[in-house]
Amino acid sequence: MSPRTIAKARPPRGSQPNLDDWARARSEFRWESARSLLDGLPRGRGLNIAHEAVDRHALAGRGAHVAIRWLPKRGSPVDLSYDELRRRTNRFANALAALGAVDGDRVFALLGRIPELYVTALGALKHRTVFCPMFSAFGPEPVRQRLELGEARVLVTTAALYEKKVAALREALPRLEHVIVVGDPAPPGTLSFRELTDRASAVYVIEPTSAEAPALLHFTSGTTGTPKGALHVHQAVLMHHLTGKLALDLRAEDVFWCTADPGWVTGTSYGIIAPLTNGATLLVDEAEFDAERWYRTLQDHKVTVWYTAPTAIRMLMKAGSELPKQFDLSRVRFAASVGEPLNPEAVLWGADTLGLPFHDNWWQTETGGIMIANYASMDIRPGSMGRPLPGIEAAIVRRTGEGVEVIDAPEQQGELALRAGWPSMFRAYLNAPERYAKCFAGGWYLSGDLAKRDADGYFWFVGRADDVIKTAGHLVGPFEVESVLVEHPAVAEAGVIGKPDPVAGELIKAFVALRPGYVWSDELCSQILAHARRRLGPTVSPKEIALTDDLPKTRSGKIMRRLLKARELGLPEGDLSTLEGSER
């Protein structure tokens, strides 16, 4: 991995980054004082995510500010002010009350990125029900699994999605009492979103909400196996808010675009909550990825802070470097990435194309919010995830029989662990208490990811514990090898696995997708192998490379190495419910 550092982000004009001195911020940080960044419910009635995201701005006189700018697939943008969002979420909360929904009931959404999705999420939180989003592209089986496991009482969807994916499941889901449908007419057995909310009052007083009351249910991406349901509580909002401010450098005057779908955790923590608690304008694009549309969106809507993912960045890179030159991208002052390791090549591409690098950060469904980040004030080390957030203690540990041993020496590979107890830590895996308990030892939460820390406290991702390759006595993280492969001009994307070998234990095998304009040949294959060998040395470089059109990915854009491996070895493919492109 590259040890070089590159210049930090473009400083916001006329001001300092929100986190301008990482070491001082960490040493002075106290959770009790951080809590004062939030308002809490009026008259000390507790803490509710939706109040922090919506009502408090309306109450503070910022009700006219645009909360959500929605870009429909076709047609003109639609703006929703904080006042309007407040009214709509109040109506939805009242509609839930009228249906008899009570605290803790699960309200699921199966919706594309349309305003009703945001109203559902925030209205459900106001009414203290638990919100659970699903990707609208899920097929009927993943939808059924989640509704059943999550004991859904209410589902909000569209008429088309209902007919296609839910109608036939109703009998199998006796707990699912109400299906609310966006778009008229509502099919038999469903209720109309419009009618319910038109009928409901626009005034709603949030009942006292405990900081520990359940709020969000998120299923993991299913990269390593069957997705797990992680439960979060209302005080997670402190983490969403704080990380929005410190790791994404958000301010109230920002136009913020998170490209993640609310079907997974990033799209909720940062695609809904964090920008709103920080009083910014959240841009929501209904359409799917399209390089030209994305550049145009950044330009036309004057996006200032942009949060995206490595797969999307690699797709932009694949679309070539001429396209971005046609657009004015100079308003973007901070760009960040999450979800997968960000290859150094992609960080540098950002620096060339946007004039500022992508800031990688690391977290998981289980952590509820960003834990480790490259901050606006910090020099970036391309390939590193950055440093832990103030209030977060991260360490490299080794599991022992009884507990864990912390590895203090730098550059040692081990499991990435976090001192348990931060506000957005998951409180349960649904119906799996033993699995939950196994994630903790000696006061640490064990992430299942392998990493290293350098002498300056930067963390470097090595790989998921399940993906690490053992070859000729070495432990090799696929990320390191993939990053070198994508340095080659012909390689757009790479996925690396270990293939059983009688001599080496495992051999490194790579799957690569080519950039447009390149044609696969033995010669090109040898060139790529030679490049990898030069950069990585003979032991760690791949022995085999295969061409693939597209690497299998989860809907949240993560390379499914377990599937590459299962296919290579002819083994069962396992849970494919989150595989991109399946069951549309």
Which positions touch ligand ATP (CB under 6 A)? 220-225, 227-228, 264-265, 338-341, 360-362, 364-365, 385, 447, 449, 461, 464, 556, 558
Q: Which is nearer to ligand ATP, 243 or 281 (CB)?
A: 243
Are 427 and 463 in contact by the 8 Å Cβ rule? The answer is: no
- List CB contacts of 513: < 8 A, sequence separation 6 or more: 491, 492, 493, 494, 547, 548, 549, 550, 551
Smallest separation (angstroms) from ligand ATP to the CB of 284: 20
Site for Mg ion, residues 222 to 261, rule: CB under 5 A? none
Number of residues that bind Mg ion (CB under 5 A): 1
Which range binds Mg ion by CB under 5 A, 61-69, 109-117, 216-224, 300-308? 216-224
264 binds, among ligand ATP, Mg ion, none (CB under 5 to 8 A by kind): ligand ATP
Distances (CA, A) of 305 to 62, 149, 297, 329, 389: 20, 36, 12, 11, 19
Could you tell me the two tokens for 318? 């694949």
Q: Which is nearer to Mg ion, 353 or 365 (CB)?
A: 365
Element at 34 (helix H, strand E): helix 31-34
Which range binds Mg ion by CB under 5 A, 101-109, 166-174, 193-201, 213-221? 213-221
Are 154 and 106 in contact by the 8 Å Cβ rule? The answer is: yes
Task: Report helix angle 310-318 to 344-353, nearest 10.
Answer: 60
Site for Mg ion, residues 31 to 90, rule: CB under 5 A? none
Q: Which is nearer to ligand ATP, 56 or 146 (CB)?
A: 146
Smallest separation (angstroms) from Mg ion to the CB of 266: 13
Q: Which is nearer to ligand ATP, 447 or 471 (CB)?
A: 447
268 binds, among ligand ATP, Mg ion, none (CB under 5 to 8 A by kind): none
Q: Which is nearer to ligand ATP, 140 or 574 (CB)?
A: 574
Smallest separation (angstroms) from ligand ATP to the CB of 560: 9
Q: Which is nearer to ligand ATP, 47 or 371 (CB)?
A: 371
- List CB contacts of 556: < 8 A, sequence separation 6 or more: 221, 260, 261, 263, 264, 266, 309, 339, 578
- List CB contacts of 555: < 8 A, sequence separation 6 or more: 135, 137, 138, 221, 261, 263, 264, 578, 579, 580
- List CB contacts of 97: < 8 A, sequence separation 6 or more: 127
Smallest separation (angstroms) from ligand ATP to the CB of 23: 22
- Report the DSSP beta bridge partners of residue 289: none
* Cis check: omega of the bond before 185, within 30 degrees of 0: yes
Rounded to 5, what percent of the chain is helix, strand, coil? 30, 25, 40
308 binds, among Mg ion, ligand ATP, none (CB under 5 to 8 A by kind): none
Smallest separation (angstroms) from ligand ATP to the CB of 61: 37
Smallest separation (angstroms) from Mg ion to the CB of 538: 32
Place of tokens 């690569």: 512
338 binds, among ligand ATP, Mg ion, none (CB under 5 to 8 A by kind): ligand ATP
Residues in touch with Mg ion (CB under 5 A):
220
